[in-house]
Chain A
Amino acid sequence: MSTQQMKGPVNAAMMAGMAALVIGGGLALVNLMSSGHAAFNTGSSGITWGLPVVGYVFFVLTSTGLTFVASLAMVFGIKEFYPIAKRCIWLALVTLVAGFTCLALELGHPFRMLWAIPTSFQYLSPLNWMGLFYAAYMVLLLLKFQKVNGGDWDSSGSRTLGIASFVSVVIAHGTLGGVFGAMAMRPMWYGPIIPLYFLLTAAVSGAAFAVLITYLTYGNESFMPAKVKNLMKGAMPKVFAAVLGIVILAVVSRTMIGLWSNADGLQVWDHVVASPWYWIELILMVAAFFMLLNGGSPFFPSIMVIISLFIGRYEFLISGQAVPLFKGTWVTGLIDYMPSVTEWMIVLLAVGIVLAGWAFGEKSLNLAAEPAEK
């Protein structure tokens, strides 16, 4: 498979990615060096986990979803997905790095974390397990990519690595869901179904990114190899639509329960549905769903879903903290929050990592490779 087939804007993505890396990374670092986390608009009387954590959740769940897509071929043996499997693994790695970068810049002591979490091993903390399993997932994913990159798709070692990375990420995203789902004092997040909700939204996120990147790689359908085109016209949009449909139901049902319940803390749902962003999120999802059902190109639906998911992650993270906890007159209503420039720059940096990382892979790692026909 040669790179000549790729007519997509890979070079442009590389340039844009580098620009985002330099601008986002540069500004974020300068601001963080000069004022520390005071460059964020988060606060002890305000929102504790701000936009960088939104970015973290968005990107690591995207990574999770991309591994799901790759696993359709490599774990579940659905051969149609092989032509995009290697690209999905690479992108899963890249989005994971982007997510971890957001998190590292949000922590007070990222380097201390490297020894303090493993040596303490607080088994009660969902965060401990999340760290453990996402770290394991990263290592397994790297090893799996290395195998595939060396042309070893099917040896028992390679298959085991594929299965192990799939299992580790299912657990990892579940523990991330637990970080929120276990919080009875934050009713908007609370509930045993949150890990499952993360699983579904991660899957949609992965499907959307897989489609988007495939189209960006080839430019348009006419440049796609037959197998890729068949996938983008056949199985991919069907899987995408099916999971998206369930996600829409999940979003609507969370909204209904949230609006209906009187539990203290859920009053924030009135505020959520009063915001145009909620409706943009919902309309984009529903419209994308019907576009996929109508059998058109999944390209635009993928972009719509990615935007919608980002809004959804923001809404989940920020609204979940918007009802203040005993702040008296320091905070009289719901907590107001607008991310600062530094916070946005961290997300831009993460976007830069994804774009440049993907373009690098496309240019140098032959991401279109697939196992030889038997």
Chain B
Amino acid sequence: MARWGMVIDLDKCTGCQACSTACQMENNRLPGENYQDVLYYTEGKQPTPVLKWFPRPCMHCEEPSCMHVCPTKATFKTEDGVVLIDWNKCIGCKYCMIACPYGVRFYTDEKPLVEPNIKDVYPGEGDLSWNPPYKGPQQDNAHGVGIQPHGVVSKCTFCYHKISKAPKGIADLSNDDAANREFVPACVRTCAPTARYFGDLDNPKSNVSRLISDKRGVRLLDHTGNKPQVYYLSGGAGPAVPSGRGGANKA
């Protein structure tokens, strides 16, 4: 069984947000609730402040604190290492949002970040929070895929509706492999400078494993013990993983 993971090369990432846009289209997300976002932030102070950016999906942690705190086991880890939410079981307690160190979970029954609220223009039917004119993947509530229902929490699924259909035993899912391109997560598929790689972390021959060992991949906030399955490459040419989690960092 694969253990899916992602590698993001920060030296190649231009902060163009194509990944976020692709994710938004694929998974019907709106601003402020992006499964994938490129965060802009400033590090350092005058006279040497630097504008930086940081692409941030769900880390699909090896030890996901979101899953451990979930009282209903709605948040679970698949055999192939992907952290998902069963929308049929989630009670919307939001403890997982408290417990995720990376702020990548979304409860969307809230005031929209950007007005006007497009969800009011396309109101949802039944339990679903809205009914966009274009819908991405098939609705699969048990894996937290599709339009988010009311009263539950959502997050990046590594495009589970795609990757779960990939041939078993495949080492990497990449645009270079024309036969399997359909199974590549939307953000990886669309990344123009190829800053994103996706593959089996347990396969020593996979491109992702090789990149992590050759280029010394690092994980965000490794001290939390969550052990992300998303690794960042940073050769020091400018971009780097942020030193803090954002906001009013202590100097």
Contacts and interface: CB of A to CB of B under 8 A. Distances in A.
Given A107-B91, A127-B95, A183-B99, A325 B109 contact: no
B105 A128 contact: no
Q: For A126, A327, A329, which residue has the most chain B Cβ atoms within 10 angstroms?
A: A327
B110 interface: yes
Contacts of B249: 264, 267
Contacts of A253: none
Interface string A309-350: 000000000000101111111111111000000000000000
Interface of A: 36-38, 40-46, 48-49, 107-110, 112-113, 116-117, 120, 122, 124-128, 131, 179, 182-186, 262, 264-265, 267, 321, 323-335
B250 interface: yes
Q: For B93, B95, B244, B250, which residue has the most chain A Cβ atoms within 10 angstroms?
A: B93
A237 to B, nearest CB: 38
Contact of B32 (A113, A186, A330): A330
B72 A122 contact: yes
A109 B151 contact: yes
Contacts of A334: 247-248
Interface string B45-86: 000000001101000000001001111111000000000000
A324 B244 CA distance: 10
Given A49-B98, A120-B71, A122-B71, A323 B91 contact: no
B68 A125 contact: yes
Contacts of B224: 184-185
A325 B104 CA distance: 9
A121 B225 CA distance: 23
Interface residues of B, number: 55
A364 B232 CA distance: 66
A253 to B, nearest CB: 21
B98 A321 contact: yes
A122 B246 contact: no
- Going nearest first, the 7 A-B pairs with the smallest beta carbon separation are A108-B92, A328-B39, A108-B151, A325-B103, A185-B101, A37-B109, A116-B72
A328 B41 CA distance: 5
Given A324-B247, A327-B39, A186 B98 contact: yes
Main secondary structure of the interface of A (DSSP, over half): loop
5 contacts: A44-B105, A44-B106, A112-B90, A116-B71, A127-B71
Given A44-B32, A120-B89, A127-B93, 16 more contacts: A36-B151, A41-B111, A42-B107, A42-B110, A43-B110, A48-B98, A49-B98, A116-B89, A120-B71, A183-B98, A185-B224, A324-B103, A326-B246, A327-B247, A330-B32, A334-B248
Nearest to B242: A326
Contacts of B102: 325-326
A38 B130 CA distance: 14
A332 B248 CA distance: 7
A307 to B, nearest CB: 27
B59 to A, nearest CB: 10
Contacts of B246: 324-328, 331
A126 B69 contact: yes
B94 A325 contact: no
B206 interface: no
Nearest to B74: A116
Contacts of B89: 112, 116, 120
A331 B246 CA distance: 8
B70 A109 contact: no
Contacts of B65: 185
B155 to A, nearest CB: 10
B69 A327 contact: no
Contacts of B32: 43-45, 330
Interface in B234-251: 242, 244-250
Contact of B95 (A36, A44, A109, A179): A179
A235 B212 CA distance: 66
B235 to A, nearest CB: 22
Contacts of A179: 95
B113 interface: yes
A336 to B, nearest CB: 12
A264 B245 contact: yes
Nearest to B72: A116
B108 interface: yes
B208 interface: no
B122 interface: no
Given A38-B110, A325-B102, A329-B40, A109 B94 contact: no
Given A108-B152, A264-B245, A334-B247, A327 B72 contact: no
A36 B91 contact: no
B171 interface: no
Contact of B93 (A108, A120, A323, A325): A108
A127 B248 contact: no
